[in-house]
Amino acid sequence: MPIELRKATDMDRRHFLKATGSTGLALSFILPSFSTAARAGGIAPNTRRINAFLAVTPDNDIEVFVAQAEMGQGITTGLTQILAEELGADWDRTHFRFSTERRSEFISPDLYGGIVLTGGSTSTSTFFLPMRQAGAAARAMLIAATAEQSGADVSEFSTNQSTVVHEPTGDVWTFAELSEDALLQPVPADPPLKARSEFTLIGQSRPRLDLAVKLDGSAKYGIDHVVPGMVWAAVRHGPLGRASVASFDGSTATKMPGVRKVLVVPHGIAVVADHYWQAVTALRTVEVVFDPIDADNFSTEDMRASLVAGLAADGVEVPQIKGDAETRLQTASDIIEATYEMPMAAHGCIEPVTCTAFVQGDTCKLWLSTQSPTLDAGYAADVLGVDPATIEIHNEFMGGAFGRRTGREHVEEAILLSQAVQAPVKVIWSREEDILMDQFRTAAMVHGRLGLDEDGRPVAYSAKVSATGFWQNMLPDWYEQVKPLDIPAIGLLDSDYGIEDENGRYAPYLSPPRIGPWRGNMDNHNLLLVESLIDEAAHHLDRDPLEYRLSLITDKRSRAVIERVAELSEWQAERTGVFRGIAFMHNKNYWRSRVAVVVELQEQDGVLRVTTLYCVCNSGLVINPLLAKQNLEGGLLFGFSWAFLEETTFTDGYPDQRNFFDYEMLRIDSAPRLVVEIIEAGEEPGSFGEVGTPMVAPALGNAIFAATGERFRRLPFAKHGAPF
Amino acid sequence: MRLNINGEDVDLEVDPDTPLLWVLRDHLSLTGTKFGCGIASCGACTVHIDGYPQRSCVYPVAAAEGTAITTIEGARSKAEEAVRAAWTELQVPQCGYCQSGQIMSAISLVRDVTAPTDEDIDAAMAGNLCRCMTYDRIRKAIKTAAQQMER
Ligand code: FES
Ligand code: FES
């Protein structure tokens, strides 16, 4: 027999509002108009916001609010999928939304004391529980509303396909019909979550929700936003992107068509014009003299000398030192000792850095691609001398990020120029300026001594890293709490190889060029050292490098990824002209990931060609295998690109490579084939965004050694002697 | 100056030296065509001029007068359908920023070359950088699209 729903009465509502105070009101507001649409069209009127992360439209579509930034990693799909699972949503009618709101729920509690930031491959693991709770709370409220009105017990209801189902009768109500009354229900503090065995969406390779808009040109990136009345700006910067203008002659430029103003900005000169090309051409005519600054004749050779000096200095202790490695090394049967070197590198996001600002009275709106609205609003507020909460940030798709997308300079320029011309201004850095102004990946020199006992087991390890950390520059408040440690000191020690005595030091290098995060961060250099030394040890002992690793590792999951990559790559198969190298990472710091990479190369007439990258990864629970695989694929080739080709050098305060013809990145014609497999485990998701990257460099170096019998210890390999 | 863009005539006043890219993006708000390098090194700005891929960042708008300009927003053809279907099947894009250019280059490849080999793909696509490194899927998607064209 069908059951009747009694609609909530005004009395119920008054009672509810009295019982819950203002919280009830806050919960049921209609969506703010400044929410921007990720898909065509705005949000339907009378859409009901159930909580920070979700709303139900009158047509029973589910809108999921994703605070984490979409840089290509697919977080808009992944987080939506997690919430939809718990809610019991109809996936085909579930959408994601970007939002300009600043809500406490959007803060990543695990990052730097709590900020809104997409970085460190933490979004999925951080927001897994909050998204589940948001979906589960809404489910409970929808069911409670139905139960209350029908008189049936809550235990008789479930949700499915965006409806509440009364199990005994099969009656269904859409979420849309129920959403108003659901909002009258108390918000459960600890809503019951589904068991893993009940998942029907999590674990499925659902197509990306952001796919269609990326095939027809309609996805809006930071550079794309059009603001009515907007004018355009081009900027030229000085040495190190830091010097300030001493004098300039803009007399020709000011007379050119469309030019509004020629203006000094903190680190350069800007032309604002009605159209971008007018600004670009006018800027070319401006003559500028920059004030001298420290190190404005900086060159890469200066930096290398300083990094070498760092290796000789004491440095500071890194975390996870154990035992007495120095004493143990004195009694070791063998010592494997080497220094590896990695250069600075540019991010090279294909979307250059841009910012559009509109400062009007005491309001400030920004349109840009950013990994951290918190940090960028902070820079903006500092420039304007206002409360960061007043800065409105519009951030939709980012044309790549890789650690680049937050910073003061472009935000400051756009704000100052908008103030000067009293209009919205879009600053676009040319590629040349984007590279000059980059927050580069740190260069690093890493030195290690690995002591082996008489059975060839590594028993003592002493390592030192000479590099620049970005915490000091970019996150000074955080740095105050952890100094003198900075990011290069993390993960230098504590491998899975059972080494009993480990000692590590970090020698900070104060880099004149700006240094920032870069996909893979400290693991790029610290694990380059470990994985190369272990390989050197294996060859020294005449052991197979893969078997040698397995002989040392006891962790079952770690062994499983290595064993599987051995199968996939046919590690044991001897083939003429084919050589392989392996590297393995068990990242316990941020990523909860185990990754094994085999690089396969072919040698012909003394010339090497990389043919295939094999990768097996265990990073916990997988939300969406398609996304996980895409992240690994991208991470692997990104790692290959830098290990093989990428290098930023400086002469006289400027980078020698300023555009893509000389800053070389991997193109399709040199991209090896990929074979990627994921082993799933556990109840908690790890991450995939960066884990593909760090192991390619050591695996490639190890493969080159297998092919040539020579150790190349300076990266990128193709530019420092390896026969490619 | 009169341009024909995606089948429609557009009249505008603009410095004839302006690269077509900025006419599209700035004067006409057709932002699907992307800026990456400005020197024909990345392919993000690829459009079709009379059916052939060109880097609009170095293509003076004056030279495009009297031609048929097609951008990602207006691409409609059998090859375009095959490419977009394959891009969907293979779920190619990550950040997506380079993909307008990749798709415009791929459309002319699968239209003009039956059963493209890896070498054909390298030749046609090496000018299109993808920092998200979606190359493996691009390669597979082009082969899928080419098969679709043969049907
Ligand atoms: S923007 Fe035209 S090729 Fe890069
Ligand atoms: S998908 Fe991001 S640059 Fe190609």
Write the pLDDT tens digit of every residue in A335-348. Answer: 999 999 999 999 99
State which ligand 2 atom lies nearest to the alpha carbon of B133: 4
d(CA A700, nearest CA chain B) in Å: 18
> Is the backbone of residue B67 left (phi > 0), alpha (psi -120 to 50) or beta?
beta
Write the pLDDT tens digit of every residue in A354-365. Answer: 999 999 998 999
Q: How far separated are the first and last CA of chain A, in Å rounded? A: 76
pLDDT band for A45, please (50, 70, 90 cuts): confident
Mean pLDDT across A375-382:
96
Of A72, A212, A661, the CB nearest to B94: A72
Higher per-residue pLDDT: B143 or A115? B143
Range with the lowest mean pLDDT among A219-223, A471-475, B27-31?
A471-475
C-beta B51 within 6 A of ligand 1: no
Mean pLDDT across B95-122:
98
**For residue A674, which of A639, A647, A644 has the smallest C-alpha distance?**
A639
Q: Coil, helix or strand for A219?
A: coil
C-beta B135 within 6 A of ligand 2: no
Q: Does A609 touch chain B (CB under 8 A)?
A: no
pLDDT band for A478, please (50, 70, 90 cuts): very high
Eight-state DSSP code of residue A57? -
State which ligand 2 atom lies nearest to the alpha carbon of B102: 4
Write the pLDDT tens digit of every residue in A8-19. Answer: 444 444 343 333
Q: Does B24 touch chain A (CB under 8 A)?
A: no
- Mean pLDDT score across all residues of chain B: 97
CB A77 within 8 A of CB A209: yes
User: What was the pLDDT predicted at A19?
Assistant: 35
Q: Coil, helix or strand for A427?
A: strand
Which top CATH class is B2-74? alpha beta
Give me the phi and psi of A167, to 5 degrees please. -55, -45
pLDDT band for A203, please (50, 70, 90 cuts): very high
Q: Coil, helix or strand for A357?
A: strand
**Distance, CA of A334 to CA of A331 (rounded, Å):** 9
Tokens of A145: 């509303």
Write the pLDDT tens digit of every residue in A581-611. Answer: 999 999 987 778 999 999 999 999 989 999 9
Nearest ligand to the CA of B34 is 1
CB contact under 8 A, A400 and B30: no
CATH of domain B78-150: 1.10.150.120
**Distance, CA of B121 to CA of A502 (rounded, Å):** 49
- Cα distances from A492 to residues A461, A517, A526, A585, in angstroms, run 10, 17, 5, 12
CB A392 within 8 A of CB A365: yes
d(CA B114, nearest CA chain A) in Å: 19
CB contact under 8 A, A350 and B42: yes
Q: Residue A242: which residues within 8 A CB-CB, separation 6 or more?
A: A267, A293, A512, A514
Mean pLDDT across A256-267:
98
Instruction: List alpha helices for A541-606, DSSP H.
Output: 545-552, 556-568
**Distance, CA of B30 to CA of B8 (rounded, Å):** 13
User: What was the pLDDT predicted at A5?
Assistant: 58
C-beta A350 within 6 A of ligand 2: yes
Write the pLDDT tens digit of every residue in A553-566. Answer: 999 999 999 999 99
Residue A438: is its pLDDT beyond 90? yes
User: What was the pLDDT predicted at A714?
Assistant: 98
Residue A625: is its pLDDT beyond 70? yes
Q: Does A65 touch chain B (CB under 8 A)?
A: no
Tokens of B1: 């100056």
pLDDT band for A38, please (50, 70, 90 cuts): very low
Q: Which residue of chain B is at minimal alpha-carbon distance from A233?
A: B26
**For residue A47, which of A175, A205, A226, A170 has the smallest C-alpha distance?**
A175
Domain ranges of chain B: 2-74, 78-150
Q: Please name every residue paired with B79 in a beta bridge, in sequence order, or none if there are none.
A: none
Tokens of A234: 């081009």
User: What was the pLDDT predicted at B143?
Assistant: 98
Tokens of B139: 């390669």
User: What was the pLDDT predicted at A111?
Assistant: 85
C-beta B57 within 6 A of ligand 1: yes
CB A275 within 8 A of CB A467: no
- Cα distances from A548 to residues A117, A539, A575, A695, in angstroms, run 40, 9, 21, 17
Q: Does B136 touch chain A (CB under 8 A)?
A: yes
The CATH number, out of the four listed (3.30.1490.120, 3.40.309.10, 3.30.365.10, 3.40.50.11540), of the domain defined by the range A301-344+440-719? 3.30.365.10
Q: Exposed, middle or buried by CB within 10 Å (0-12, 13-18, 19+), for A84?
A: buried
Give me the phi and psi of A25, to 5 degrees please. -65, -45
Higher per-residue pLDDT: A102 or A340? A340
Q: At what angle do helices B135-150 and B78-89 cross, to 10 degrees?
A: 130
CB contact under 8 A, A211 and B30: no
Percent of chain A topping pLDDT 70: 94
Q: Residue A402: which residues within 8 A CB-CB, separation 6 or more?
A: A71, A347, A349, A518, A519, A638, B131
Write the pLDDT tens digit of every residue in A280-294. Answer: 999 999 999 999 999
Mean pLDDT across B39-60:
98
Mean pLDDT across A296-313:
97
Give me the phi and psi of A504, to 5 degrees please. -145, 145
User: What was the pLDDT predicted at A588?
Assistant: 85
Mean pLDDT across A299-313:
98
Interval between CA A400 and ligand 2 midpoint (Å): 7
Q: Which residue of chain A is at minimal alpha-carbon distance from B21?
A: A277
Mean pLDDT across A159-185:
96
Q: Please name every residue paired with A445 in a beta bridge, in sequence order, or none if there are none.
A: A341, A466
pLDDT band for A25, please (50, 70, 90 cuts): very low
Mean pLDDT across A146-171:
96
Q: Which residue has the tokens 């006419």?
A: B23
Q: Where in chain A is the domain with CATH 3.30.365.10?
A: 34-215, 222-293+353-428, 301-344+440-719
C-beta B55 within 6 A of ligand 1: yes
d(CA B43, nearest CA chain A) in Å: 10
Residue nearest atom 3 in ligand 1 by C-alpha distance = B40
CB A470 within 8 A of CB A442: yes
Tokens of A525: 């250099």
Mean pLDDT across A81-109:
94
Q: How far from the centroid of its chain's Cα atoms is residue A195's Cα?
A: 29
Eight-state DSSP code of residue A703? H
User: What was the pLDDT predicted at A14?
Assistant: 38
**Distance, CA of A596 to CA of A59 (rounded, Å):** 47
**Distance, CA of B65 to CA of B149 (rounded, Å):** 31
Rounded to 5°, angle at Cα A676 from A554 and A660: 120
Pairing of strands A607-618, A673-679: parallel
User: What was the pLDDT predicted at A4?
Assistant: 62
Which residues in chain A (158-217) have CB-CB distances under 8 A to chain B? Answer: 207-208, 210-217
A–B: how many Cβ contacts below 8 A? 173
pLDDT band for A44, please (50, 70, 90 cuts): confident
Q: Residue A1: which residues within 8 A CB-CB, separation 6 or more?
A: A169
DSSP assignment of chain B: -EEEETTEEEE----TTSBHHHIIIIIS--TTS--S-SSSSS-TTEEEETTEEEEGGGSBHHHHTTSEEE-TTT--SHHHHHHHHHHHHTT--SS-TTHHHHHHHHHHHHHH-SS--HHHHHHHHTTS--TT--HHHHHHHHHHHHHHHH-
Write the pLDDT tens digit of every residue in A543-556. Answer: 999 999 999 999 99
Burial profile A310-323: b = 16 or more Cβ within 10 angstroms, e = fewer:
bbeeebeebeebee
Element (H, E) at A81: helix A75-87
C-beta A400 within 6 A of ligand 2: yes
Residue A32: is its pLDDT beyond 70? no
Fold assignment, A222-293+353-428: Aldehyde Oxidoreductase; domain 4 (3.30.365)
Give me the phi and psi of A377, to 5 degrees please. -65, -35
Q: Does A611 touch chain B (CB under 8 A)?
A: no
Q: Does B94 touch chain A (CB under 8 A)?
A: yes
Residue A720: is its pLDDT beyond 80? yes
> Using DSSP, how many helices (H) and how many strands (E) does chain A show?
19, 27
Residue A6: is its pLDDT beyond 70? no
Which residues in chain A (351-390) have CB-CB distances under 8 A to chain B? Answer: 351-352
Percent of chain A topping pLDDT 90: 90
C-beta B127 within 6 A of ligand 1: no
Mean pLDDT across A404-415:
97
Cis peptide upstream of residue A484 (ω within 30 degrees of 0): yes
Q: Does domain A34-215 bear CATH number 3.30.365.10? A: yes
CB A596 within 8 A of CB A569: no
**Distance, CA of A507 to CA of A543 (rounded, Å):** 33
- Mean pLDDT score across all residues of chain A: 93
Which of B39, B49, B98 for a ligand 1 pocket mutation test, highest count of atoms within 8 Å of Cβ?
Answer: B39
Residue A39: is its pLDDT beyond 90? no
Higher per-residue pLDDT: A42 or A688? A688
This prediction has a pTM of 0.95
User: What was the pLDDT predicted at A3?
Assistant: 58
Residue A30: is its pLDDT beyond 50? no
User: What was the pLDDT predicted at A42?
Assistant: 67
pLDDT band for A113, please (50, 70, 90 cuts): confident
**Distance, CA of A704 to CA of A706 (rounded, Å):** 5
DSSP assignment of A610-679: EEEEEEEEE-BB-S-HHHHHHHHHHHHHHHHHHHHT--B-EETTEES--STTTS----GGGPPEEEEEEE
Element (H, E) at A262: strand A259-265
Give me the phi and psi of A414, to 5 degrees please. -65, -40
d(CA A351, nearest CA chain B) in Å: 6
Q: Which residue has the tokens 């080999």?
A: B117
